[in-house]
Amino acid sequence: MRLDKYLKVSRLIKRRTVANDACDAGRVCVNDKPARASYEVKPGDMIVLSLGAHKLAVEVLEVNEYATKEGATSLYRVIEQN
């Protein structure tokens, strides 16, 4: 699954276009490297989001095309948040 779609499905970012813009601006890193929106997300990947003053690091546990609001948090595990 593409990174921008994963960020939207997992509800880490509300809209796919916002996720795409964040990737283009270099605010999303996967495994300590800036990632493009077309990056293929795999279980075990470490995603770091730097949006404004907030930084969020998560580990991808599962890649699923669809997720309910309640099931979205089971797709990742929060490692660091500030």
Task: Domain 3-81: give its CATH superfamily.
Answer: RNA-binding S4 domain (3.10.290.10)
Global pTM?
A: 0.92
Handedness of CA 2, 17, 25, 51 (dihedral sign): negative
Model confidence pLDDT, tens digit, residues 50-65:
988 999 999 999 999 8
19: nearest Cα among 56, 44, 45: 56
Model confidence pLDDT, tens digit, residues 13-56:
999 999 999 999 999 999 999 999 999 999 999 999 998 899 99
Does residue 75 contact residue 61 with C-beta atoms inside 8 Å? yes
pLDDT-above-70 percentage for the chain: 100
Look at residue 25 in the predicted model and tell me its pLDDT: 96
4 pLDDT higher than 90: yes
Rounded (5°) CA angle 3-53-33: 35
- Domain boundaries defined on the chain: 3-81
Task: For residue 66, count CB atoms less than 10 angstroms from its CB and return exposed for 0-12, middle for 13-18, buried for 19 or more.
Answer: exposed
